[in-house]
Amino acid sequence: MSDLLVSPKWLHAHLDEVRVVDASWYLPAQNRDAKAEYAAGHIPGAVYFDIDAIADRSTDLPHMLPDPDAFAAAAGALGLSEGDTIVVYDGMGLFSAPRVWWTLKVFGARQVRILEGGLPAWKAAGYRLSSEAPQPTPKRFHPRFLQAAVADLGRVRRSLNGSGEQIVDARPAGRFRGEEPEPRPGLKSGHIPGSKCLPFDALFAEGEPQRLVEAARIRAIFEAAGVDWDKPVVTSCGSGVTAAILSFALVAAGKADTALYDGSWTEWGGRDDTPVEQGPA
């Protein structure tokens, strides 16, 4: 995973050579304000990537990918280009950073890594924070949209009809089974028929919350959830954020045939024309 993760020590030594992105985002129930926390203290030079602002404004679905030109304009305004080495982190350790990692990769950024342990690890290492708002020099980001990495509603529907793609759901098991309500009002309870349940935190190392297990263990965890490693995987969750943790883990374990369902359960569970199952997978 050395090409996907960097340590706080490495980042501290290379701050002047890379572009750092704060990707913090929190669920309403977490009662945290990502923007306020960023303003109060962030890794020096880090720009804030707001997944709710850099998004498709033509839909009510949350933080859906924008079109390539809109993304390029937003990324360029943050001082990012597709050729930069970009290090992404978040305030929990490993929660929303994979979503921004995936977004950057989808639009053609070539060297994107995640800070292992995120901001908590940076602070634990004793490195300083800054409250100074960076003034990045605008750049040109030349997008190359990787369509294969993004699953839409039609593609997920086809998985129900034998397309060969497996849907893996990162939500907690209670929500997957339909035993616990969805945090967003108006959504059905349950899961996409035939999908597999793999809560994202099952991929965290024991005793080290928000740190990914070793790459060698990732495949075993997916297979224990009923995933056939030799078939393509589409990850899903509530709104496309924690699904990216699964996607990041799959790539870390060497699996290339993966995609993320951008609309996730907010889209599927919010429609009248989509089938829903309840109970275990």
Do 173 and 94 share a structural domain?
no
In sequence order, which residues have a C-beta less than 8 Å from that of residue 261 and are 6 or more positions away? 151, 152, 155, 156, 167, 234, 235, 236, 240, 243, 267, 268
101-105, 205-209, 238-242: least confidently modelled range = 205-209
The two tokens of residue 278 are 């309840």
Q: HEC states along 112-125?
A: EEEECCHHHHHHHC
SS3 69: helix
In DSSP terms, which residues pair with 130 in a beta bridge? 42
**pLDDT band, very low/low/confident/very high, at 76 (cuts 50, 70, 90):** very high
Q: How far is CA 50 from the centre of its chain?
A: 13
CATH number at residue 54: 3.40.250.10
The two tokens of residue 93 are 């350790």
Q: Per-residue pLDDT for 231 more than 70?
A: yes
Cα–Cα distance list, 231 to 104, 118, 257 (Å): 25, 31, 8
What was the pLDDT predicted at 167? Answer: 98
At which of 114, 145, 176 does a domain end? Answer: 145
User: What does the pLDDT look like over 47-71, one tens digit per residue?
Assistant: 999 999 999 999 999 999 999 999 9
What was the pLDDT predicted at 209? Answer: 72
Do 140 and 27 share a structural domain?
yes
Q: Give the total number of structural domains in the chain.
A: 2
In a domain, 246, yes or no: yes
**Amino acid letter, residue 171:** R
At which of 92, 122, 145 does a domain end? Answer: 145
Do 104 and 18 share a structural domain?
yes
In a domain, 63, yes or no: yes
Sheet strands (E) in the chain = 5-6, 19-22, 47-48, 85-89, 111-115, 150-151, 166-169, 196-197, 233-236, 258-261
**pLDDT band, very low/low/confident/very high, at 1 (cuts 50, 70, 90):** very low
What was the pLDDT predicted at 118? Answer: 97
Do 179 and 250 share a structural domain?
yes
Q: Average pLDDT of the chain?
A: 96
Do 154 and 122 share a structural domain?
no
Do 39 and 104 share a structural domain?
yes
Helix (H) or strand (E) holding 237: none
Dihedral of the alpha carbons of 106, 108, 109, 112, in degrees to the nearest 10: 40
Do 48 and 131 share a structural domain?
yes
At which of 145, 168, 197 does a domain end? Answer: 145
What was the pLDDT predicted at 2? Answer: 64
Do 206 and 141 share a structural domain?
no
**pLDDT band, very low/low/confident/very high, at 29 (cuts 50, 70, 90):** confident
In a domain, 281, yes or no: no
Which position among 151, 167, 237, 259 bears the catalytic label?
237
The two tokens of residue 46 are 């880090």
In a domain, 276, yes or no: no
Do 12 and 134 share a structural domain?
yes
Residue 142's closest CA among 68, 88, 78? 68
What was the pLDDT predicted at 210? Answer: 85
In a domain, 280, yes or no: no
Q: Look up 197 and say whether it is catalytic.
A: no
Do 189 and 129 share a structural domain?
no
Mean pLDDT, to the nearest integer, of 195-200?
98
In a domain, 277, yes or no: no
Do 140 and 153 share a structural domain?
no
- Pairing relationship of beta strands 150-151 and 258-261 according to DSSP bridges: parallel
Per the structure, the complete domain to which residue 133 belongs is given by: 5-145
The DSSP output letter for 54 is S
Do 133 and 58 share a structural domain?
yes
